[in-house]
Structure 1
Amino acid sequence: MRHRHARRAGPEGGESRSFIPANSEAESVSKGLEYAIDDWCIAQMARKLGKADDYAYFSKRAQKL
């Protein structure tokens, strides 16, 4: 399944890194934590809905930060 989820803000979209550099964005630590929690919540919803692909994708992404 192809995912067309919005890229995160930050240098190079933030997708290529597992963190948000402090010198590139204000409140980088809290934003990183917020992104991880958002991804975890989406993964849990996907699991409840039986969307195994989305569950795996967001679970993995939630653990990046």
Structure 2
Amino acid sequence: MEEKTKELIKKRITLCLVYNDYNVAWVTTDENAETIDVEETLKMIKENSEKYEEQMRNEKN
């Protein structure tokens, strides 16, 4: 029974990182919710942070 329960709770988890109401990154774990692709996540944060900064500059003008 315990093994069956463990199988049922294995799930992929997706987290949304938000900064000042701006979606910076989606972080998704592997299917067992044990690891994340840190390199891909950091790349996404960098790209979206640059977009956020550009958006803020455009709003000031």
TM-score, normalization by structure 1: 0.41
Rg (Cα) greater in structure: 2
Higher strand share: 2
* Structure with more relative contact order (C-alpha pairs < 8 Å, separation 6 or more): 1
Relative to total residues, which structure has the larger helix share, 1 or 2?
1
